Chain A
Amino acid sequence: MGESRDMPSAEILERAIGLLHHPTAETAGLWPRATAVLTRQALEVGLHEALSDKVLGIEHAPVRVQLLCLQSYLEDTETAHEVNLAWWALSRACHHGSYELPPTAPELESLIDVVRRFVATA
């Protein structure tokens, strides 16, 4: 994810939380997707952080592959599984579905929670 690595995952996540919890008129209505986008980025950067010194060139692999690697390299398989699910859930919010609405605040909070725990250990 190129330049996005410049900002550590924790910082990106902080901004995601900021979007969720500090309402502004400008972000009315768009904050659910925006929060999902940042949270997903935080997760993806977190993946690099967790894997880059373990797997050479992992940053060029698709995220799906990285998630698979995480399963094998992370001792805590529970977390790896959660992260996997969170990524899929967040990805749905980042793409247009036929009729699905973006996630709700509580959903986002629980996704953020998963990512927070992940990047804290990464």
Chain B
Amino acid sequence: MDDVLESIILGRLDADDKLGERTRALVIGACHGVEALDATLEGKAPKHSKKAGTKAPSARNPAYLQSIEVQGFRGVGPPASLPITTGPGLTLVVGRNGSGKSSFAEALELLLTGDNSRWSTRSAIWKEGWRNLHQSDARIDAEFVVEGAKGTTVVSREWKPDAKLEEAETVVSAQGSKTSDLETMGWAGAVEMYRPFLSYSELGSMLDAGPSALSAILGLEDLIEAEARLKEASKQRKRLSDDAKLALPPILERLATVQDERASVCIEALSAKTWDLDAVEKAVIGTEEADREESQLAVLRQLAVLEAPDADEVKTAADGLQAAASALREMGGTEAAKALETAELLGAALTFHQRHGDQDCPVCGEGALDTEWRTATEEEVGRLRQLAEQADLAHRLMQESMKSARAHLLPVPAVLSSASGVGLEAEDVIGAWKVWSAGASIEEPEALAQHLQTSLPSVGAGVKRLKETAWKELQRREDVWRPIATDLAGWLDTAKRARSGEEELKDLHVAEKWIRAASNDIRNERFAPIADQAQGVWDMLRMQSSVLLKKIVLTGAGSARKVVLDVSVDGMEGAALGVMSQGELNSLALSLFMPRATLPESPFRFVVIDDPVQSMDPARVDGLARMLEQAAQTRQVIVFTHDERLARSCRLLGIDAKVVEVTRRPESLVELRPGQDPVSRYCNDAWAVAKSEDLDPAVKARIVGVFCRLAMEAACTEAVTRRRLANGEDYESIETLLDSATGLAQLMALALFDDIAKTKDLYARLDRGIGTWAVSAYRRVQEAAHKPVSEEAMLTLVTESERLARGLVQLP
């Protein structure tokens, strides 16, 4: 980005404290290019990549035109050179349409515009017919004087005999340096930007298309591009969002056809105003969270892994029960407690015997407590204790066996009751299981063992069947879901990117708006002086026009910018350009052209205008002359014009203008000669004829008189016009008056008496007022215009008619 522009932008960013950090970064990123903007969007710090200044300083060095030489191009056959006085000043190139004058303007434009597309828009006729028929060699040279460069800089373009218009190189050669091209000179871009050429056809179209070109000179292209980058970034994100939205309906449609609650979850998540992408993602990935307790899938999954009580374990439990029962039975009704108490009683007797020695049994009184008794009793106590222990063990075994057997008698699993909800038949299993679990109330061990053995198979078979069915159902659902899930996953990716893009979109919009506002402001600041100047030009050109140019504004954005002219016509506000005359429109176009072409930054100190006078009324031509005079104070103004109106205005207004007359002979021989005021021109032509050594004397004799008369007519015309203009009369009525004169006599009467009717008094007036010679001079001229003049009378005739013509011009 342009350094000046960048510092302006940074300054504005600093001054704007309402702007978010993110937006600020985006503006800077956008100013630095697409990559920098992308980096900013990805959250990376943009790299400040500044290009080193590449503009060659010479590009700005003012250049003046010195000559245009044309050969074999358009109307010009043999080489013809148009010299232009170097430095500021006005040059009028005057010649009839077809005289070849415009060929010089076009040649210069072609030369400087190079291979630009501008030429490709020309008609095929133009492109095919650019070569002059009378000259096979084609070349154009323009000489420039460039400040800071030695000598002259010549820009040339030469075509080979069969080359097409675009098949030639434009070469720049300057004294003391290598040949280069317009690009190197820095002129290629400058020509585009400042366009120092204005042709009549462009004049007409300038108001349609041209003004947008005006904005190029404001040098805001970098900002426009930055704005475009932001817009593009937004567009990409918007597109992503649109893609996601567009892709959704078919997906929803498909989801609706699937009987899967993940589909329902997704439909619900995606029907909300803001998509619940997390919910969709869970459904797609199938995470645990998606399996809510009550969900069908959860039921199916539980059913699929449902286990019946393990047959082996149940058998072990039943066997245990049987074993415990038979152990108890073997004890034969032994009461462990009684055996134990007996053992303790005997134990107490043994302890008594130990302490008190042998004696009669204190309990029964019959037996005796002695050593024999002691041995037998000690044995009995051991046996009793063992018996008690065995009985206790058998009891505990039974208890354990019962417990573990009952442990298998679980209640009906809750999930079974949900089976019908997922479309599975489970009544059999539930019935079998209910029977199974009812065994918990059986107290009788052998009956329980029996129950275990007999009730389990139907539970196991039922569960196995149900499991298989549930598994199949799960598989079926997965088969339907998987492709949808795959698609959803793809869509989800887009949607997620769209979502993050949507967040960026807000910032992008703000940044874009900011940059647009900034470039509008800067543009208006920069455009203001140009608009002022255009208004100044218009004020000079508008003359009596009732069209008031109130304001020139640059509007629109990006490439759609255009200049809007706020004009009022006859005091009517907001009038359309449609009510303006062609002359007014052309003047307006000129008003817009001049400021651009004469911007100080332009290296071109020359402005070439081709035929601005067409369709202008005479008063406006005066305005044009004045405007050109003003521009010519600082610029080399070259105007091509097809008649003498502009030259006449300059002459009568005392505007210094160099005139070049262009005539074109047969065979495209173009002649250029310095222009003169009409009286001098005719007198000099008369002298040229009189003194000619080449001309056939008979021809001289026949034509010299007409040139003398022309000089007199021009003198009268000039005198009458000056006098009447000074009296406030307008060109048109003066012209009408002059046109009504049918001959020299009436013109003389107008010049001498300001009365067309007083032809009879001419001799007397000439005799009295100027001298007797004037009378004879007048008579001689009148006669010579109709009769061949003798060789000896010729010099006198020319001398006297020039004297008289010069005298008439001086008439007050």
Contact = CB atoms under 8 A, between A and B. Distances in A.
A31 B665 contact: yes
Contact of A20 (B642, B665, B786): B665
Interface string A19-62: 11101101111111110011001000000000000000000000
A58 to B, nearest CB: 16
B787 interface: yes
B673 A29 contact: yes
A4 B787 contact: yes
A104 B664 contact: yes
A105 B703 contact: no
A29 B710 contact: no
Nearest to B743: A95
A113 B698 CA distance: 22
A105 B698 contact: no
Contact of B787 (A1, A27, A34): A1
A24 B721 CA distance: 35
Interface in A88-106: 94-96, 98-106
A97 to B, nearest CB: 8
A7 interface: yes
B261 interface: no
Given A96-B678, A99-B643, A104 B99 contact: yes
B710 A33 contact: yes
A33 B713 CA distance: 14
Contacts of B698: 7, 15
Contact of B671 (A20, A28, A109): A28
B669 interface: yes
Given A15-B698, A104-B98, A32 B717 contact: no
Contacts of B95: 101
Contacts of B81: none
Given A26-B694, A31-B663, A19 B699 contact: yes
Contacts of B694: 24, 26-27
B103 to A, nearest CB: 14
Interface in B706-749: 706-707, 709-710, 713-714, 717, 721, 735, 738-739
B696 interface: yes
Contacts of B664: 104-105
B665 A37 contact: no
A119 interface: no
B599 interface: no
Contact of A29 (B97, B671, B787): B671
Contacts of A2: 786-787
B94 interface: yes
Interface string B172-205: 0000000000000000000000000000000000
Contacts of A20: 665-666
A33 B738 contact: no
A24 B738 CA distance: 34
Given A3-B787, A104-B664, A37 B702 contact: yes
Contact of B643 (A4, A32, A101): A101
B634 interface: no
Contacts of A34: 689, 699, 703, 707
A12 interface: yes
Contacts of A4: 702, 786-788
B735 A37 contact: no
A98 B725 CA distance: 14
A109 B671 CA distance: 18
B217 to A, nearest CB: 35
B500 interface: no
B98 to A, nearest CB: 5
Nearest to A35: B703
Given A12-B702, A19-B699, A27-B695, A98 B669 contact: no
Nearest to A36: B706
Tell which of A29, A34, A99 has the most Cβ of chain B within 10 Å.
A99
A34 B710 CA distance: 11
Given A1-B787, A7-B698, A100-B643, A109 B666 contact: yes
Contacts of B703: 33-34, 37-38
B661 interface: yes
B770 interface: no
Contacts of A99: 643-645, 647-648
A98 B699 contact: no
Tell which of A1, A27, A103, A106 has the most Cβ of chain B within 10 Å.
A27
A54 to B, nearest CB: 22
Nearest to B679: A96
B765 interface: no
A98 B735 contact: yes
Contacts of B787: 1-4
Given A29-B671, A33-B707, A98 B648 contact: yes
A105 B642 contact: no
B593 to A, nearest CB: 24
A29 B669 CA distance: 11
B115 interface: no
A19 B186 CA distance: 48
Given A29-B663, A105-B664, A96 B98 contact: no
Contacts of A7: 698
Contact of B665 (A18, A23, A41): A23
A30 B738 contact: no
B316 interface: no
B791 to A, nearest CB: 13
Nearest to A7: B698
B735 A30 contact: no
A12 B699 CA distance: 8
Nearest to B738: A98
B392 interface: no
Nearest to B735: A98
Nearest to A20: B666
B96 interface: yes
A21 B666 contact: yes
A64 to B, nearest CB: 10
B422 interface: no
B688 interface: yes
Contacts of B754: none
Contacts of B94: 101
Contact of A96 (B689, B717, B788): B717
A95 B713 contact: yes
B692 interface: yes
B788 A101 contact: no
Interface in B339-358: none
A12 B648 CA distance: 34
Interface string B401-412: 000000000000
A38 B702 contact: yes
A7 B260 CA distance: 118
B688 A95 contact: no
A99 B675 CA distance: 13
A28 B648 contact: no
B685 interface: yes
29 contacts: A3-B787, A4-B787, A18-B699, A26-B692, A27-B695, A29-B671, A29-B673, A29-B685, A30-B689, A30-B707, A32-B663, A33-B703, A33-B707, A34-B689, A37-B702, A37-B703, A38-B702, A94-B710, A95-B710, A96-B682, A96-B713, A96-B714, A96-B717, A98-B721, A99-B647, A100-B644, A101-B96, A101-B642, A104-B96
Interface of A: 1-4, 7, 12, 15, 18-21, 23-24, 26-34, 37-38, 41, 94-96, 98-106, 109
Query: A-B pairs with the 9 shortest C-beta distances?
Result: A96-B713, A99-B644, A30-B685, A99-B645, A37-B706, A96-B714, A26-B692, A28-B671, A29-B673
Given A33-B707, A105-B664, 19 more contacts: A1-B786, A3-B788, A12-B702, A26-B692, A26-B694, A27-B688, A31-B663, A34-B689, A96-B678, A99-B643, A99-B647, A99-B648, A100-B643, A101-B94, A101-B95, A101-B642, A104-B97, A104-B99, A105-B666
Interface of B: 94-99, 642-645, 647-648, 661, 663-666, 669, 671, 673, 678, 682, 685, 688-689, 692-696, 698-699, 702-703, 706-707, 709-710, 713-714, 717, 721, 735, 738-739, 785-788
